[in-house]
Structure 1
Amino acid sequence: MESWRVRTDRLGLLLDQFDCAREMAQVRLTGLGDEEYLWEPVPGCWSIRRRGEAVTPRAFGPGDWVLDQGAPEIPASEYAEVARQAAGGMTVTKIADDWGVSVERVRQVLEHSGPPEPDTTPVTTIAWRLGHLHSCFAGQWEWTFGERRQEPKLLVDFTPCAASAVERFWALTDRWRADVAAVTDEQLDTIGYSQYPYGSDPDDPFITVLCGANLEFIHHMAEIALLRDLWRSRFTPRG
């Protein structure tokens, strides 16, 4: 009997990690209904909303529903990354452009000493988390394997229907995974192989971009899983 082979090459490890995370996420998203999908567990949540009803200044989307987005900021969890970018030779102006903040704000981050204060970020709904992930993967696919010309924020038509959102998301991630699987070792090491404009993709080797995409997928799906647990606990009668 042929034994099961585990890939240990760089791309194989990243693909296996993605596949494992996707399998777990697909199980956790099974049975997601519209009410749970849009549930706001606390006041002031970010979510998807009808155009004109968004509660944030930079909500975006091409259709009737938009994804909440606030003003640009460098979160405390990214202070170390900004320091690494500066130490690696990236200019303060370039860092500011990448993050969409002022040069003065970047300087404040670089001059910060001691542990950063925890971020005061809004709680987000399952609809927001899934929509955010969908937008990221759609943008990175377009600016890596696509025509590299469409505005990332206009690629995803957000929907209040949970089943449709999940189905569209898996179709997109399957396309992403198929094209990533065909990448060569040379392309993995190519700086700027992805030209996704929101972030440092144009300045990074593609293998770094893939690591970041996997991390984004895993941590947001973990948050969605927790929201599902809270929903079940909140609405399941205790005996």
Structure 2
Amino acid sequence: MVIPPRLVPLVQQFDFARERLTNRMSGPVMDSGDGADTKVGPMTREEFLWEPVGGCWSVRRRTDGPGPRATLLAGTGDWGRDAASYPHPWPPPFTTIAWRLSHLSEMLTLRADHTAGSRSRTRDDYRVSGDVEEAVAAFDTAAGAWREALLSVDDAALDTVGYCTYPHGSDSEEPFIDIAWWVNQELLHHGAEIALLRDLHREASSQPQTAVGR
């Protein structure tokens, strides 16, 4: 299928953000932002689960129960992601790389399904991982599924309100092209957060007086 011209720049932006985040998490090099490649090692488990402040939300073994101010562990499997029913805690808890990456991957997976799949998957179906390599691989799978969903739509679908039936956003009230834009900003801003947390962990680890946490 020919990509609708209006969608082309959004697909290109998605591809750029996806590659940049993947490289930032996995290495061996990343784009430093000035056109020069910078060496970076794969993200470690310590970074993945690092809690830089007290009261963080993260992913946890179900046997350990939810974290501070969380009332449930979202997802399926032996691990879950800290969550709470409405009304959510205020101010929002600070979240770990593990939480942010799980949230991002779940969102991509479910929106792909609700655009070009069964249109039935829920958060209860999404498998949460406490293993950093599995989580990075899950992000790659989720990003690939969303890209395939994007490429499946035609020009008429871009203007169709509720074309994506994802139940955890404003999708039912928005034309699909606005949802495609929104997913990009989710990837861009969560990718930037994950990159910053890696940088902060590196700096904290280099300073003996700073407690790095688990």
Could you say which TM-score interval applies, normalised by the shorter chain?
Answer: 0.7 to 0.9
For the structure 1 residues 168 and 74, does the alpha-carbon distance in structure 2 shift closer, same or farther, using more than 3 Å as the test?
closer
1:16 aligns with 2:16: no
For normalisation by structure 2, the TM-score amounts to: 0.82
Pairing 1:227–2:191 present? no
Matched AA of 2:153: V
Match of 2:35 in 1: none
Higher-strand-fraction structure: 2
Question: 67, 75, 81: which is aligned to 1:67?
Answer: 81
Summarize deviations over 1:73-116 as a string: whole Å, max 9, x none. Answer: 489xxxxxxxxxxxxxxxxxxxxxxxxxxxxxxxxxxxxxxxxx
Give the RMSD, CA atoms, in angstroms. Answer: 2.0
- Which residue of 1 is the match for residue 30 of structure 2? none
Q: Which structure 1 residue ranges, 5 or more long, are not aligned?
A: 1-6, 76-118
**Partner residue in 1 for 2:144:** 174
Looking at secondary structure, tell me which structure has more helix per residue: 1
Q: After TM superposition, what 4+ stretches of structure 1 lie above 4 angstroms from structure 2?
A: none
Structure 2: 5+ residue stretches without partners: 27-41, 209-214
Whichever of the two has the greater Rg, that structure is: 1
**After superposition, where does 1:146-165 map in structure 2 within 5 Å?**
146-150=117-121, 152-165=122-135
Whole-Å separation in 1 of the counterparts to 2:4 and 2:123: 35
In structure 2, how many angstroms separate the alpha carbons of the residues matched to 1:126 and 1:195? 27
* Amino acid paired to 1:221: G
How many angstroms does 1:133 deviate by?
0.5
Partner residue of 2:108?
137
Contact 1:135 1:155 in 2 (8 A): no
Residue 9 of structure 1 and its aligned partner are, at CA, apart by: 2.9
State the TM-score, normalizing by the size of structure 1.
0.74
Q: CA deviation at 1:203?
A: 1.6
Q: Which residue of 2 aligns with 1:115?
A: none
